[in-house]
Structures are given as structure tokens and as C-alpha cells.
Amino acid sequence: MIHLLDQTPEQLQAWLAGHGVPGYRVRQVWQWIYARGADNFDQMTDLPGELRQRLAAELAIWETRVAAHHKADDGAEKLLLELADGERIECVLLRDDRGHCTICVSTQVGCAMGCAFCASGMDGLVRNLSTGEILEQMLRLRQCLAEGERISHIVVMGMGEPLANLDGLLPALAVASSRDGLGIGARRITISTVGLPAGIHRLAGLNLQYHLAVSLHAADDALRDRL
Ligand code: SF4
């Protein structure tokens, strides 16, 4: 099965063309997934039934399973997602008293950075997440929203070092920030990093409008002052 969320519109168009389906169907599928929050192909009622069956047979919208869903008293919700290979990641929805709904997503299974205070890096890096796996966290968290709520901000601050997986992350953020995708303005997206120079240079060269939060840690005040 092909993970639909890993496909760019161009790739999806090529797939449809290969099955003799006109290109305008891409926009319909895209809108069902990102704008209308379709959970399955049967809900895409303006697509011919035969196409829906073919899509369902060859493309998967979801590749994760919600292994646990915790709701805190302050409105925060945490999802533990099991990936297709059995690995597990977390993503979080945070609500504040201004009505903001911020989602926090992971970019890797494990982490190579080994920050002393962080459990995510204890066993090192297992693998990068795909673009589809990053987008799927966003869609899963959107399903947690109540009527009238919408995602206001995205922080890339979950498991993993985002700048070590820009190949997976940047296409996901492009969809998240596009009007045809999740429609979250780029200035409402923050990438948190320990400060990988190569990744910072690459991001700077792309001239994107995402915020970058560099997190510097030290074990004592003297070093913290120097940082
Ligand atoms: S970079 Fe982030 S996820 Fe990785 S070990 Fe440090 S705090 Fe944990």
C-alpha cells in the first residue's frame, strides 16, 4: 500500500493518470483529506464509486494506530501512535485560555542528540519519520478538536531533532502551511532545535517564514551564562 500522506499532489496526479483518472480528481482527494478531514475513501462522495474502491485498494490514508490517548485536566491531549513497523511516537494538542490550539509533533523515532534531561534520546536514533508520518500526527490531533476549534499553531518540538530530518519535515510543513493543505500560516509554525549548523544554514537558504527556536542547555550557571 502507498501512504497517501507521503504523496505530493504531483505524485498523486501521476498515480491517477497511470490509472486513467483525470488530473482534476487530485484536488478533490486533497480537499477531502486536508480541508474536510475525511477518515476514509467512502466519505469522498463526489468521487465515482469505482475510483473510491481503487483508491482504498491501493492507497492508505492512515498508517498509524492510536495506541493510547491521554486527556489532561488542563485540556492537553497526548496521542501515543504506533507506526507501521511497530515503533511508537508521541504528539500533543495543547489548549490555552486564549482559545489557541497548538499541536506539537515528532520528527524522528528516538533521537541522536542525547540531551541529558530527555528520555527520547536515551536509546539513540532509531529512524527518521516520513513526511506522511509527520502529517499523520497533525491529522490525528486535528481529530481531537471539538466543534468550533481549529489548529492555531504548530510546534515541531516532539521526539527527535527536526533539523536532522528536514527531508521529511519540510514537505510536511509545506502541506501544513499551504492554503490547500491545513492552512496554518508559516509564521504560526515553530521549529525547535538544539542548533544543528548545517540544518540552520539549509533553512536560512530557503528563506521560509517558520520560526526557529534554538534550545541551548547547560548543567551549570557559568556555562548557561556563556551560552
Ligand atoms: S534534541 Fe530534543 S528529542 Fe533529542 S534528546 Fe534533545 S531534547 Fe530530546
pLDDT digits (tens, 9 = 90+) for 42-85: 999 999 999 999 999 999 999 999 999 999 999 999 999 999 99
Tell me, using a 6 A CB cutoff, whether residue 121 lines ligand 1.
yes
SS3 state of residue 83: coil
CA-nearest residue for atom 8, ligand 1, is 118
Identify the burial level of 13 via C-beta atoms within 10 angstroms of its C-beta, where 0-12 means exposed, 13-18 middle and 19 or more buried: buried
How far is it, in rounded angstroms, from Cα 35 to Cα 201? Answer: 33
Based on the domain organization, do 169 and 86 belong to the same domain?
Answer: yes
Compute, in degrees rounded to 10, the torsion defined by CA atoms 48, 181, 7, 157.
-140
CA-nearest residue for atom 1, ligand 1, is 161
Residue 15 lies in domain: 2-60
To the nearest whole number, what is the mean pLDDT of the chain?
Answer: 93
Domain boundary among 24, 41, 60: 60
CATH number at residue 123: 3.20.20.70
pLDDT (tens digit per residue) in 161-206: 999 999 999 999 999 999 989 999 999 999 999 999 999 999 999 9
Task: Assess contact for 69 and 78: CB atoms under 8 A.
Answer: yes
Task: Tally the domains of the chain.
Answer: 2
- Asked if residue 211 belongs to a domain, the reply is yes
pLDDT (tens digit per residue) in 113-129: 999 888 888 889 999 99
CA separation, residue 186 to residues 153, 171, 220 (Å): 9, 13, 35
- Asked if residue 227 belongs to a domain, the reply is no
Based on the domain organization, do 147 and 195 belong to the same domain?
Answer: yes
Based on the domain organization, do 107 and 145 belong to the same domain?
Answer: yes
pLDDT at residue 74, as a whole number:
96
Tell me, using a 6 A CB cutoff, whether residue 125 lines ligand 1.
no
- Asked if residue 226 belongs to a domain, the reply is no
Report the residue among 90, 118, 122 best suited for mutation to probe ligand 1: largest number of ligand atoms under 8 A from its CB.
Answer: 118
Based on the domain organization, do 100 and 166 belong to the same domain?
Answer: yes
Q: What is the ipTM of this complex?
A: 0.97
**Is 60 exceeded by the pLDDT of residue 226?**
no
- What percentage of the chain has pLDDT greater than the value 70? 95
- Asked if residue 149 belongs to a domain, the reply is yes
- Asked if residue 26 belongs to a domain, the reply is yes
